[in-house]
Amino acid sequence: MTAKHISECHERIKPYVHNTAVLTSRLIDKEVEANLFFKCENFQRAGAYKMRGATNAILQLTDQQKKNGVVTHSSGNFAQALSLAAQSVGVIAHIVMPNTAPEVKKVGVREYGGKIYECEPTVEARQALADAIAVSTGATFIHPSNDENVILGQGTAAIELLQEQPDLDFIFCPIGGGGLIAGSALAVKYFGNSCEVLGGEPFEADDAYRSLISGKIEGNKTVNTIADGLKTTLGDKNFPIIKELVSDIIRVKEEEIIAAMRLVWERMKIIIEPSSAVTVAAVIRQSKENSKILQNKNVGIIISGGNVDLAKLPF
């Protein structure tokens, strides 16, 4: 995946996605002693950055593949994104969702025309049902994160952030399946100016942290985290990129995620979901534990989404 590939992807999806706002907060800057720039993908179509990768993947299908439809599995944000992207070009979307997925995300899938199939909340159950649907319908399976077209699409958020703030020293991303941070790392490699990519991950689902240490893909020992979008594992297409280009992964506790989420809601007056708050929490933890690393630096933060079940707020 070259600079040309990611640039062409960015041009391809522009008619279908928003170039989202980059916001700042002097109060949060003061707290972490750095200059933070929040790329607000919570303002993206379907409420999350995943609209980018979903759109690019669908636009790359052949006419016959579009006729047969697409299928994926997702806890919510990619489910909504693929449903909306498919609807935009007249394609049927079959969506496998764990029965524990937030109701607000199920509602979004239905509103965007996706057909939901519920399963047990395990990676194995999700993949098995998606495979069965692909066989029975002829639909093309599109992985939420371990797909080159998806990875390239997700990286376009970082491209836009770098275009607006070319002198960033760091970009922080949340890590679930690895598509966003892999795409962002590629964007930084080709378009960044001595910028580093770091990840944020819950202690309760820290497979990427352990994978970076061991050098191989590790499974999750637990997924008992409020960050529902980060419960998936890395893939063989995105992990090599992460291993090569991501500098570090900062793990955070559940109470830190909730505190960061509340901080952004209160100080910036924007809605972010727990998975996005993981990244903010990682920046705050890094500023406290290794203050000199971020001090007075320009730090980009990808706010990955804002699809929150308001009936189940943690504060």
| 134, 185: one domain | no
Which amino acid, 166?
P
| 71, 26: one domain | no
Range of the domain at 202: 3-48+151-312
| 204, 278: one domain | yes
User: Measured between alpha carbons, how far is 91 from 142 in angstroms, rounded to an integer?
Assistant: 13
Distance of CA 200 to the CA centre of its chain: 11
Selected catalytic residue, list 75, 184, 276, 304: 75
Selected catalytic residue, list 4, 7, 14, 50: 50
Q: Is 193 strand, coil or helix? A: coil
The pLDDT of residue 222 is 80
Q: Is 243 a catalytic residue?
A: no
| 138, 161: one domain | no
Q: Is 75 a catalytic residue?
A: yes
| 129, 246: one domain | no
Which amino acid, 151?
I
| 180, 143: one domain | no
User: Measured between alpha carbons, how far is 265 from 272 in angstroms, rounded to an integer?
Assistant: 7
List the chain pLDDT tens, one digit each, 315 residues.
899 999 999 999 999 999 999 999 999 999 999 999 999 999 999 899 999 999 999 999 999 999 999 999 987 788 999 999 999 999 999 999 988 887 877 888 999 999 999 999 887 898 999 999 999 999 999 999 999 999 999 999 999 999 999 999 999 999 999 999 999 999 999 999 899 999 999 999 999 999 999 999 998 878 889 998 888 889 999 999 999 999 999 999 999 999 999 999 999 999 999 999 999 999 999 999 887 899 999 999 999 999 888 888 888
Number of domains in the chain: 2
The CATH number covering residue 163 comes to 3.40.50.1100
From 148, 176, 193, give the residue that closes a domain.
Answer: 148
Distance of CA 313 to the CA centre of its chain: 20
Spell out the alpha helix ranges (H) of 140-222: 148-154, 156-164, 179-191, 207-214
For residue 242, how many other CB atoms are within 10 A of its CB? 22
Nearest one of 39, 45, 166 to 108, comparing CA atoms: 45
| 171, 240: one domain | yes
| 24, 73: one domain | no
From 148, 167, 185, give the residue that closes a domain.
Answer: 148
User: Measured between alpha carbons, how far is 54 from 66 in angstroms, rounded to an integer?
Assistant: 13
| 58, 140: one domain | yes
